[in-house]
């Protein structure tokens, strides 16, 4: 057990009763500073300490997908760094790639607070953030500067962090205009990411999951294909709550469009596997709180979905596995089920 698990985590989770979103924002602010000040004396020293502690350079861990080299298969899942403010530091924390976003074309505040809750007994979190982000224009400006720095790194022939960008629909955009919304974001960001994700599976934007239907999803994919002049890898992120036949429909569509892969899975709206009965911060039963569940309760279902995708496609469609990964054994379970890469967050 390290110092975080033995000392810092108990203080943050219990002693201070810290609001999880407040803590998340403070942590991200610190990482943002490090990302922006890596060449300062202090920033350079901290970065070196992080790399010494967290980075493992081993050729056996490398993965190449879609012509993109991943130093290792462990990635940061979308949702932590929604605006890409810490994009320059994730590689120093041992990640082989980081998925930024979810970003929408229009900046938006997200859902009312409180909107993020710890379910400690379940090793889980409940969130209904609602795609809070500054918008695609702001992210593009930030990543343009990062792109300059990354070119400097490439000249030194050092493995660089790969960047994915997760695209969502703006809340104010009607569902009928979703395709144009995704296309507008992609057009701004397409030269700034190594791969892109169509997020139609968050439960926290009204009607969004209906876009997983093949007839709706095809409209979005048509729009993105028209914009994808540089042939960037495009993946779709799916919900764990889809029935098998619905997942099969998405897979058929993905293959017909030549998509780069599937991310399995997003959060679940199921509550039946939870030990937690009531949310302490609101006093309401967990069954009455809207939002998606991530963490340990999602592990088995996400692995089942990964295995189903691999079997249905005979391994021809790359999978990024996410959901309930806490240990190396959890990660290996996802990989042996069919995932080429994995992501962590909760």
Active-site residue list: 202
Report the relative pairing of strands 63-65 and 68-70 from DSSP bridges. antiparallel
Tokens of 17: 């009763």
Tokens of 203: 């439960």
- One DSSP character per residue, 20-66 reads HHHHHHHHHHHHHHHHH-TTSHHHHHHHHHHHHHH----GGG-EEET
Number of residues in the chain: 346
Tokens of 196: 């892109």
**Beta carbons within 10 angstroms of residue 193's beta carbon:** 23
- Cα separation, 339 vs 344, whole angstroms: 13
**Beta carbons within 10 angstroms of residue 211's beta carbon:** 22
């Amino acid at each position: 057990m390290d110092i975080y698990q033995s000392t810092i985590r108990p203080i943050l989770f219990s002693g201070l009763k810290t609001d999880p979103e407040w803590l998340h924002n403070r942590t991200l602010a610190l990482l943002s500073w490090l990302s922006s000040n890596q060449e300062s004396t202090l920033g350079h020293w901290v970065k070196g300490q992080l790399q010494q502690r967290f980075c493992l350079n081993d050729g056996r861990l490398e993965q190449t997908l879609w012509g993109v080299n991943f130093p290792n298969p462990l990635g940061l899942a979308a949702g932590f760094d929604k605006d890409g403010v810490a994009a320059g530091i994730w590689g120093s924390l041992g990640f082989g790639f980081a998925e930024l976003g979810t970003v929408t074309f229009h900046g938006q505040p997200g859902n009312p607070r409180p909107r993020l809750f710890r379910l400690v007994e379940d090793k889980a979190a409940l969130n209904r953030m609602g795609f809070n982000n500054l918008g695609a224009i702001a992210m593009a400006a930030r990543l343009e500067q990062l792109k300059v720095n990354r070119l400097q790194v490439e000249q030194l022939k050092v493995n660089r962090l790969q960047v994915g960008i997760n695209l969502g629909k703006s809340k104010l955009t009607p569902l009928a205009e979703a395709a144009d919304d995704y296309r507008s974001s992609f057009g701004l960001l397409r030269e700034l990411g190594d791969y892109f994700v169509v997020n139609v599976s968050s439960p926290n934007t009204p009607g969004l999951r209906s876009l997983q239907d093949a007839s709706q999803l095809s409209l979005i994919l048509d729009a993105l294909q028209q914009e994808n002049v540089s042939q960037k890898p495009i993946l779709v992120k799916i919900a764990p709550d889809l029935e098998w036949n619905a997942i099969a429909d998405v897979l058929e569509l993905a293959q017909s469009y030549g998509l780069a892969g599937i991310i399995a899975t997003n959060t679940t709206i199921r509550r039946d596997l939870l030990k937690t009965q009531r949310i302490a911060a609101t006093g309401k039963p967990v069954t009455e709180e809207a939002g998606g569940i991530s963490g340990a309760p999602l592990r088995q279902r996400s692995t089942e979905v990964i295995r189903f995708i691999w079997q249905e496609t005979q391994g021809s469609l790359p999978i990024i596995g996410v959901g309930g990964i806490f240990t190396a054994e959890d990660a290996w379970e996802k990989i042996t089920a069919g995932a080429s890469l994995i992501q962590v967050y909760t």
